[in-house]
Amino acid sequence: MSKERLYDEYVSSGQAGDVSVSKGRMVEVEKIVDKFIPKKKGTSIIDLGCGYGIYMKELLDRGYKNVKGVDISEEQVEAARRNGVENVFHGEAEHFLEGEASGSVDVVLMVDIIEHMELKKMLSVLGESNRVLSEGGRCIIHVPNAQGIFGMRVRYGDLTHERAFSPKSIEQLLRTTGFTSINIYEDKPVVHGALSLGRRLLWEVITLVPKLLLLVESPGAKSFAMSQNILITATKKAKEGEQ
């Protein structure tokens, strides 16, 4: 079975889950937008692997005007359009970026996309993302965490996934493709009420033991994130003489 067939039926197979922007991961979406997207409404944003438009919809609803996205699954693109999201295109991320001018973009979103790529394509997409970003532009990435307690649940939860990432390997990838100021965040339960607060407290307590074990075995570890996924931000490295 080819990846193309899997992408063709990404929504109808149930892999995309609930494609309504009013449900599902809105708490996580709001967290990322609140914390990592510049407040200026003219910020130029590209959402690679935009899926059914959950991030784009949130950004547009907040008044961001310069937002566009691309996804390899035509079903996902159709779902995004049904959700009222315009400026969403069907195609390969790499080819989409090739049509963008150098230094013309402020933020590139890569939420749950690069784990689907083979290494050669991944390097090309990150390289193109670096090219289109303005100086100091930001890349925001969300990927399966190979170090996480249940990271393999995500890695093998989708037949189109190629890999998971450890904090060290994602840093290697980003530095190789011209990024700096790399920050890695544990994808902890987001607190938005009493129940989620309880989940967050349990998470902090239960993960303390494996974090201590990792500290004992690998005191020089880059990150002690134990979540299924990790969130990463990275900045386009300034050219020599401009730092």
Q: pLDDT tens for residues 11-53?
A: 999 999 989 887 657 899 999 999 999 999 999 999 999 999 9
Task: Judge whether residue 70 has pLDDT over 90.
Answer: yes
What is the model's pTM?
0.93
With cut-offs at 50, 70 and 90, classify the pLDDT of residue 201. very high
Task: Judge whether residue 91 has pLDDT over 90.
Answer: yes
CB 180 within 8 A of CB 234: yes
Number of neighbours of residue 201 by Cβ within 10 angstroms: 12
Tell me the one-letter amino acid at 173.
L
Q: What is the mean pLDDT of the chain?
A: 94
Question: What integer pLDDT is reported at residue 23 of this predicted model?
Answer: 62
Helix or strand holding residue 240 (H, E): none
**Distance between CA 47 and CA 97 in Å, rounded?**
11
Task: Judge whether residue 174 has pLDDT over 80.
Answer: yes
Question: What integer pLDDT is reported at residue 222 of this predicted model?
Answer: 83
Question: What integer pLDDT is reported at residue 240 of this predicted model?
Answer: 62
Q: Taking residues 169-194, report their average pLDDT.
A: 96
Question: What integer pLDDT is reported at residue 1 of this predicted model?
Answer: 55
Question: What integer pLDDT is reported at residue 242 of this predicted model?
Answer: 53
In the structure encoding, which two tokens stand for residue 219, read together? Answer: 């005191």
With cut-offs at 50, 70 and 90, classify the pLDDT of residue 208. very high
Contacting residues for 184 by C-beta, under 8 A, at least 6 apart:
167, 170, 171, 222, 223, 225, 230, 231, 232
End-to-end CA distance of the chain: 48
**Distance between CA 237 and CA 23 in Å, rounded?**
36
Number of neighbours of residue 100 by Cβ within 10 angstroms: 18
Number of neighbours of residue 127 by Cβ within 10 angstroms: 14
The tens digit of pLDDT for each residue in 105-145 reads: 999 999 999 999 999 999 999 999 999 999 999 999 999 99
Helix or strand holding residue 119 (H, E): helix 119-132
Task: Judge whether residue 232 has pLDDT over 80.
Answer: yes
Question: What integer pLDDT is reported at residue 20 of this predicted model?
Answer: 86
Task: Judge whether residue 238 has pLDDT over 70.
Answer: yes
Phi-psi map region of 30: left, alpha, beta (phi>0 left; psi -120 to 50 alpha) = alpha
In the structure encoding, which two tokens stand for residue 35, read together? Answer: 């914390």
